[in-house]
Structure 1
Amino acid sequence: MFHKDIWIDFIHDLQNRICAALEASDGKAKFVEDLWERPEGGGGKTRVISNGAVFEKGGVNTSVVYGTVTDTMRRQLNIDGHTWFACGLSMVLHPVNPMVPTTHANWRYFELYDADGNVCDRWFGGGADLTPYYLDEADARHFHNTLKLAQDSFHTDIYPVLKKECDAYFNNAHRGFEMRGIGGVFYDHVKPGGPVHKELPHVQLSLDELFAFQQANGNCFTEAYIPIIEKNKNMAYTPEQKYWQEIRRGRYVEFNLIHDRGTIFGLKTNGRTESILMSLPPTVRFDYNYQPEAGSPEAALLDACMHPKEWA
């Protein structure tokens, strides 16, 4: 029977497994762990890797936090209740080589309690997405098909809907709905006994089934991403290609600071700022009205970000 302690154990084990796989792929840098406590309740394990052979900067973080529902949370996050609990894993990896995509993933669980300590609401959320700087269609298909396979065992209707949700969410609407990458899957506020998505009223999972769904999504991450690293990490690149990587990293920064719900939730609940902003890349460019040359590989990547494709 699912309990939040089971979720906490899974998230910490997943953090260990992902960090070990990433260190093995990098071959040089190791994660540095920073344990922190939140004065209002709980804390976390921030693990950062930097200046590696593969990763210029990255983090694989877990947090277990709780507290009293504040007026700010009621207004900004549209939740009500007396107290709350949240636990999840969030990661962002920014490679050195522009031929290796940036990636992000997050899996989380939230409980809301009444004044007597009874659970009055609970939900899961998560997803993973890929942000390449140069489009490799084989890599895109591999990443998406791995996510699809993990979700197909629960229902084959799930992946297409959550893929579309990801395209819509990881999107810089202020730039004419320009995606920050080529997507993946995204889902939020998935409640036991309710639909996995509003477009899937026929796909309803129990609490234990949702936990298994989260496990499947988290466990497939290394299979989705590590082969892409290994394929591309030793490719040669030019200063001009590094320049383009930093231009696209600017789009990543814009999304995370303007639109990302996780960033907003962390800041609104007095989360640890250093851990929340770990997702930002180390170097970026914000050139005025930068446009890639027509017909170039850079233009092809931008076109894929402006016009979502079906990769699986």
Structure 2
Amino acid sequence: MLEILEKVEQPVQSQQSMLVRTEKVFKRMFENVCQAIEEIDGTQFQEQRWTKDENCEWVEGDNNGITYIDMALRNGNVFEKVGINYVSMQGELPPGMTFQGSDVVMADPANGMPSGKGTPFFASSTSVVINALNPMVPTAHVNYRYFQVGDGTQPGSWWFGGGGDLTPIYLFEEDAVHFHQVHKAACDQHDPTFYPVAKKACDEYFYLPHRGECRGVGGIFFDYLQDRDVESLFSLVTTCSEAFLPAYIPLIEKRKDMEFTQQHKYWQRLRRGRYAEFILLHDRGVRFGLTSGIVNTQSVLNCMPGEACWNYSDQPIHGSQEEKLLEVLRNPREWV
């Protein structure tokens, strides 16, 4: 009988341990990125902490069970706007709210609204969006997350998601190659078949169908990842999260002091308009976070570009560097 109990309890213990360990990994990533950005820029972030009140509304402050931190840097020496978010929280989903994969599903009101307690959940993540002043420095985005419903022992009740991707304003092919090489090396440490799948998923996910363009030159992306044991996936996600800084920081150092014109800045604002379009129209992660109440609207706005613009006709001149970028965004490449 003891042997049977041990077999039943072990997954619960493993999943409980995963909560603490994912918190540590994502908090370490959060702190390391913040430190790296401050060192390059010479400017400190502004910090804002959030919690929830008795009506489950987001308010400023701290609370046991919720660690929610927004870091914001605006108009620095190198960066125009950087938004970094870390969250670790345990709570209850509203009665009638469930998940199909990482999509939120609500109970049908026609069948009567459910009452009583909701389902316990745990969520932990770090999300980063970096926009530089110099248009030659590419925008970068990275997010890694872990989500668990209940004690995590039921099939489909836990998963990892995330990845990192690069959005150049002006295309430097060697930058795209470096970014992909670092991420491929991280993936290959655990599974040589993972990078091609995650790279393809990134190109397909960060896509604006109404434009016929990818958002950038990609990287890696995965969602609802639970296709093997939790320890293997935790190790993979940890290594991938550690790959972002060596993949991106050298590109900042290489491009931040390059000369640029007001025409370059205009193109930068147009491309940031595309970035905003994706977040507002197509980002499932934003929709999931807002619908479930796990994400604060202010955090979404903190990660939006500081300046963006739109024009009725914004097609670049034939043969220009701007057209070169669009050609790659419309026809994704294999970089490594």
Q: Give yes or no for TM over 0.5.
A: yes
Who is 1:90 aligned against? 127
Who is 2:207 aligned against? 171
RMSD between aligned residues = 1.8
Who is 1:311 aligned against? 335
Matched, 1:102 2:139: yes
Kept in 1: contact 2:273–2:310 (CA 8 A): yes
Matched, 1:136 2:163: no
Who is 2:277 aligned against? 254
1:7 aligned residue (22, 32, 49): 22
- After TM superposition, the score normalised by the length of structure 1 is 0.90
2:49 aligned residue (35, 38, 41): 35
Q: Per the alignment, do residues 72 and 208 of structure 1 end up closer, same or farther by CA in structure 2, a change over 3 Å counting?
A: closer
Please report how far the alpha carbon of residue 43 of structure 1 lies from its aligned counterpart in structure 2 after TM superposition: 3.9
Please report how far the alpha carbon of residue 88 of structure 1 lies from its aligned counterpart in structure 2 after TM superposition: 0.3
SS of 1:174's partner is coil
SS of 2:307's partner is coil
Please report how far the alpha carbon of residue 118 of structure 1 lies from its aligned counterpart in structure 2 after TM superposition: 6.0
CA deviations 1:255-282 (Å, max 9, x no partner) are: 0001112211221123311112212101
CA deviations 1:98-151 (Å, max 9, x no partner) are: 0000000000000011xxx56431100110000001000000000000000000
Q: Which runs of 5+ in 2 are unaligned?
A: 1-13, 57-64, 108-117
SS of 2:210's partner is helix
Who is 1:214 aligned against? 237
Please report how far the alpha carbon of residue 30 of structure 1 lies from its aligned counterpart in structure 2 after TM superposition: 1.3
Q: Per the alignment, do residues 175 and 72 of structure 1 end up closer, same or farther by CA in structure 2, a change over 3 Å counting?
A: farther
CA deviations 1:81-103 (Å, max 9, x no partner) are: 82222110001001110000000
Matched, 1:159 2:174: no
Q: Per the alignment, do residues 294 and 262 of structure 1 end up closer, same or farther by CA in structure 2, a change over 3 Å counting?
A: same
Who is 1:238 aligned against? 261
Who is 2:312 aligned against? 288
Q: Per the alignment, do residues 73 and 293 of structure 1 end up closer, same or farther by CA in structure 2, a change over 3 Å counting?
A: farther
Matched letter for residue 144 of structure 1: H
Matched letter for residue 68 of structure 2: G
SS of 1:48's partner is strand
SS of 1:220's partner is helix
Runs (4 or more) in structure 1 with deviation over 3 Å come to 70-76, 78-81
Specify the structure having the higher radius of gyration (Cα). 2
Kept in 2: contact 1:111–1:119 (CA 8 A): no
Q: Per the alignment, do residues 73 and 283 of structure 1 end up closer, same or farther by CA in structure 2, a change over 3 Å counting?
A: farther
Measured in 1, the distance between the counterparts of 2:321 and 2:211 equals 20
The range that moved more, 297-306 or 8-17, is: 8-17
Q: Which residues of 2 match residues 40-59 of structure 1 at below 5 A? A: 40=56, 42-59=66-83
CA deviations 1:189-231 (Å, max 9, x no partner) are: 111xx2xxxxxxxxxx421111111110111111000000000
Kept in 2: contact 1:38–1:272 (CA 8 A): no
Q: Which runs of 5+ in 1 are unaligned?
A: 195-204
Measured in 1, the distance between the counterparts of 2:49 and 2:287 equals 22
- After TM superposition, the score normalised by the length of structure 2 is 0.84
Q: Per the alignment, do residues 227 and 33 of structure 1 end up closer, same or farther by CA in structure 2, a change over 3 Å counting?
A: same
Measured in 2, the distance between the counterparts of 1:14 and 1:180 equals 24
Please report how far the alpha carbon of residue 240 of structure 1 lies from its aligned counterpart in structure 2 after TM superposition: 0.2
Who is 1:112 aligned against? 149
Count, aligned residues? 295
Q: Per the alignment, do residues 105 and 79 of structure 1 end up closer, same or farther by CA in structure 2, a change over 3 Å counting?
A: farther
Measured in 2, the distance between the counterparts of 1:73 and 1:248 equals 36
Please report how far the alpha carbon of residue 21 of structure 1 lies from its aligned counterpart in structure 2 after TM superposition: 1.2
SS of 1:276's partner is helix
Kept in 2: contact 1:61–1:90 (CA 8 A): yes
Q: Per the alignment, do residues 74 and 136 of structure 1 end up closer, same or farther by CA in structure 2, a change over 3 Å counting?
A: same
State the identity %.
40
Measured in 2, the distance between the counterparts of 1:79 and 1:302 equals 39
Kept in 2: contact 1:69–1:84 (CA 8 A): yes
